Chains A and B, each alone.
Chain A
């Protein structure tokens, strides 16, 4: 058997695991590992400019491909800088393996230089973590980390490795395990047949059904099955922010996103439904509004691979624990069997009435109907997303940061495929968009990747423009520039009497064009609506260049609809600055 040092084992294990990219940043505690990577490792390493960006890039890669993203950082500040990105991945259930260096074993606990208790600091935001004490344990630990990160409800796993464990002069037998079994970890492989049958019956008996599908459908590769189920039954579908693309947005049966900034028809349909099929969604507070008033007439069927997500906030009438794919497969066959016995299922007349009602809601206030842009002579932010959608033919990977631009992108870019919409939904991490776009572009170099952002968010990881130069990742940055922290300003307008506490930058914004150029990229500015499409086309025509498209948009615009809180239900929404339900 081959003899390798700890550092070499890590390099080799990542190869054997089939890792495509390592995102990282070197430092004292990981230098043995970096030396091993340098000498002999087929996995390319992407040097970011800040460890937070390494985690977001790995995260973007993971969201786009479904494979775990891999991060390598040093101890102390390297590890703590990675924390925000790990928490981001944790909240959205993204598979990620983070290898962090640690000070040498004999220094642990002595407040050594660049020492931090990474296992302790990361504990509440990881699916699991390991501290490796002996080089011999590295292969099995790495195997376990990948297995845990990617199986069940995915999530980030941290492997903390003291420097001496990777020392080059001590070699041990290396064999990478083919598989791993853990007595304390066995995620559900399939749902309970009896429960699925009960759910199928309830679903077929529904008169006002809604399918409410979340990120679990995307992460669990359940989109096709979900789409089949919805189409076979002709049931309406709404997606969470994380679930967008899980059902084709251009389909007639799609109600749009639901929740705080969800579509009117989606929130209305939910509120008036008599049966909600929740698939890979977790009844987040940004979805439900006031839980006590949530969908008063609805029975809830809840499919999730994580039992703790079921009946956490909203009680499920029929809980089903299992992977989305296997549960939906079984549900489809149960439904087929039930319909074979009774061809009148589901109640077509009731469904027709339901669709008529939904169409009425759509006509009354769909996003696509009757939008009034006329009261501004500036470009409206929504128009930028519509332009992006047109120019990329709805086929781009779109990453976003957090704020108004994120909601506009979610509302106006119609995602027809899963894994195309890459955003920090749970944690709401500003600075996510650009590094995530790097990860996506590296995974799919031939696809268009757009990062929709704002001046606030982009400046939280602007240094990654340099990474884009180094690795030639020609993403397109679409900056919706309104000179405010837009979402903060919106809340201040609505709830704080327009007192803009710290939500403006006054005249301190950089010249983004020059900034992009300083990093060797192309900067373009758009201030007139008439120029928007042409500029967008030009940006995407420059296939090999990163383009920073700085679009000056209306400064006053708010995101609507918006749930009325506190104490509102799903159906209580602001529809514009002065209309509400």
Chain B
């Protein structure tokens, strides 16, 4: 099962490599990884998605918790949560396809953020599924480049991951 694990960790050199290293060292998969400082500059927030059964996820969270740089973590998929992945996608857009791409982008509530004579660059945010669907909807379009931020996530309601 796919899980989203959010980690609050010390904003120290080497902290990220410890998290990433743990996954390769113990043979766990990372599907996506997103990391940036928080409003507190001493803390980084890392969100990663991984796949595994309950036992494996339990081991992953325990091993992550053991890392000295990890202050707190939560498995967001255990409760109601919001997840967002950001995609920038550059496509060939010429002739009749220009309108078609624009329409599809509107349907997905994306924005065309850069326009060239024969290309569009589209920005789209949402769940990973939504981004996948958009890419699938572009089947007839020549996709030139795709970049995704990886999932960032947060719990719904009062629940917060903080010190």
On A, residues with C-beta under 8 Å from B are 119-120, 123-124, 127-129, 131, 148, 182-185, 306-308, 311-312
Complex contact B59–A308 (CB within 8 A):
yes
In the complex with contacts A119-B14, A124-B21, A308-B70 CB distance below 8 A:
no
Judge whether B69 and A184 touch: CB under 8 Å. Answer: yes
Please, which residue of chain B has its CB at the minimum distance from the CB of A308?
A: B62
What 1/0 flags go to B17-29 for Cβ under 8 Å of A? 1100100010000
For chain B, which range describes its interface: under 10, 10 to 19, 20 to 34, or 35 or more residues?
20 to 34
Query: SS class of chain A's interface: helix, strand, loop or mixed?
Result: mixed
| B66: Cβ under 8 A from any A Cβ | yes
Please give me the residue from chain B that is nearest to A160 by CB atom.
B14
Chain A residues with CB under 8 Å of B65's CB are 307-308
Residues from chain B with a CB closer than 8 A to the CB of A306 are 66
Given contacts A184-B71, A308-B66, contact A123 B10 (CB under 8 A): no
Known contacts: A131-B14, A306-B66. The answer to whether A311 contacts B21 by CB under 8 A is: no
- B71 in contact with A183 (CB, 8 Å): yes
CB atoms of A184 and B10 under 8 A apart = yes
- Residues on B with C-beta less than 8 A from A183 are 71, 163
Does B95 touch A at the CB level, under 8 Å? no
Contact of B18 among A123, A182, A307, A311 (CB under 8 A): A123
Chain A residues near B10 (CB-CB < 8 A): 184
* Chain B residue contacts of A119, Cβ below 8 A: 14
Say yes or no: is B131 at the interface (Cβ < 8 Å to chain A).
no
Nearest residue (CB) in A for B10 is A184
Q: Give chain B's interface residues, CB within 8 Å of chain A.
A: 9-10, 13-14, 17-18, 21, 25, 55, 58-59, 62-63, 65-66, 68-71, 163
Q: Is the CB of A311 within 8 A of B70?
A: no
Cβ contact within 8 Å between B70 and A184: yes
When A and B form their complex, what is the total count of cross-chain residue pairs whose Cβ atoms lie within 8 Å? 37
Task: Tell me the smallest distance from the CB of A235 to a CB of chain B, in Å.
Answer: 29
12 contacts between A and B (CB under 8 A): A120-B17, A123-B17, A124-B25, A128-B68, A129-B14, A131-B14, A184-B69, A184-B70, A307-B62, A307-B66, A308-B62, A308-B65
Do residues A311 and B58 form an inter-chain contact, with CB atoms below 8 A?
yes
A311 to B54, CA, bound (A): 12
Instruction: Find the A residue at minimum CB distance from B70.
Output: A184
Give A127 to B22 CA distance when docked, in angstroms.
Answer: 12
What's the minimum C-beta distance from A294 to chain B, rounded to whole angstroms?
15
Cα–Cα distance between A131 and B15 once the two chains are bound (Å): 12
The 7 closest A-B pairs by CB, nearest first: A308-B62, A128-B68, A184-B71, A124-B25, A185-B68, A307-B62, A123-B21
CA distance A185 to B66 in the complex (A): 8
Q: Whose C-beta in chain B lies nearest to the C-beta of A124?
A: B25
B63 CB to nearest chain A CB (Å) = 5
Taking a contact as CB atoms under 8 Å apart, the answer to whether A127 and B68 are in contact is yes
Instruction: Write the nearest CB–CB distance from B67 to chain A, whole angstroms.
Output: 8
Q: Which residues of A contact B13 (CB under 8 A)?
A: 131
Evaluate contact between A184 and B14: CB separation under 8 angstroms.
no
The answer to whether B59 and A148 have CB atoms under 8 Å apart is no
Smallest Cβ-Cβ distance to A183: which chain B residue: B71
Contacts of A308 in B (CB 8 A): 59, 62-63, 65-66
For residue B55, which residue of chain A has the nearest CB?
A: A311
CA separation between A410 and B62, bound complex, in Å? 32
In Å, the complex CA distance between A76 and B71 comes to 32
